[in-house]
Amino acid sequence: MKDLGELMQQMQEVQQRMQRMQQELETAEVEGEAGGGLVRVVMNGKGEVRNVSIDASLLKPEEKEIVEDLLVAALGKAKERMEEMVAEKMREATGGLPLPPGFSL
């Protein structure tokens, strides 16, 4: 039973690291940009958009579609970076242990 006790202790440690990771993800931020930085999006580790910045040069009625396309691209890049950050933090929290299929945050 000694092994079971050690396993339970390891699981508690992983659970504590996961809780810390969740807290870190709420405050961590990633940025996505498009159009050479004309559109920027800041997103936290939970996927919540925190800020959108659009260069004033794009704020013309005839640029509407371009701005919309750039905003979608910037959001996509921010989401990719957020997912990479979450995956890295997950590896840190679990000590590289593989998680069961279907397990997510």
20 in a structural domain: yes
| CATH number of the domain encompassing residue 26 | 3.30.1310.10
Q: Per the domain annotation, does 42 fall within a domain?
A: yes
Q: Is residue 90 part of a domain?
A: yes
Q: What percent of the chain has pLDDT over 90?
A: 41
* Inside any domain, residue 103: no
What's the whole-model pTM score? 0.67
Task: Give one DSSP letter per residue of 37-80, joined into a string.
Answer: TTEEEEEETTS-EEEEEE-GGG-SGGGHHHHHHHHHHHHHHHHH
42-78 residue pLDDT tens: 998 888 899 999 999 989 999 889 999 999 999 999 9
Per the listing, tokens 């998680």 go with 99
Give 76-95 pLDDT, tens digit per residue: 999 999 999 888 888 887 77
Provide the residue range defining the domain that includes 37. 2-94
Number of domains in the chain: 1
